[in-house]
Amino acid sequence: MKRKAKQVKTDDVDLSQLLVTGNVDMSGIHLTTNYQGNPVHYMLLSTSEFTQWQTINTQTKLAIIHSRINPENFGNNSEIINLVVQATLQTINKLLPRAQRDRALKFTLPKY
């Protein structure tokens, strides 16, 4: 299901109101960018991407994240987009170890 995100109005953007959050489940890392409490962007780093993600350099990771952002959601403002890309990468870096651990547990725990 595709969720419709609101657009950030870039006239008087308070960059401190941008927040990237994430959670982990068995499908991967789900990331949401919120502005003033409203979701404006969604992204999934799926479990099938974890291995590749660890082998690529930071510039490539940033390019991948950037390619998954709809610039219109951020008023085509490159400053905001770059901030969101950086925050998204930081959030992925924080959540990836937990996501990998949870995925490993799924494959090692016996089912009863």
Q: Compare 17 and 63 and report the one with higher pLDDT.
A: 63
Q: What is the mean pLDDT of the chain?
A: 84
Distance, CA of 81 to chain centre: 12
Q: pTM, whole model, 2 decimals?
A: 0.79
Q: Which of 7-16, 44-53, 79-88 has the lowest mean pLDDT?
A: 7-16
Beta strands at 38-46 and 28-35: parallel, antiparallel or unpaired: antiparallel
- What pLDDT, on the 0 to 100 scale, is given for residue 8? 60
Spatial strand order in the sheet of 28-35: 18-25, 28-35, 38-46
pLDDT tens-digit series, residues 10-35: 566 778 888 999 999 888 999 999 98
Q: What is the pLDDT of residue 1?
A: 46
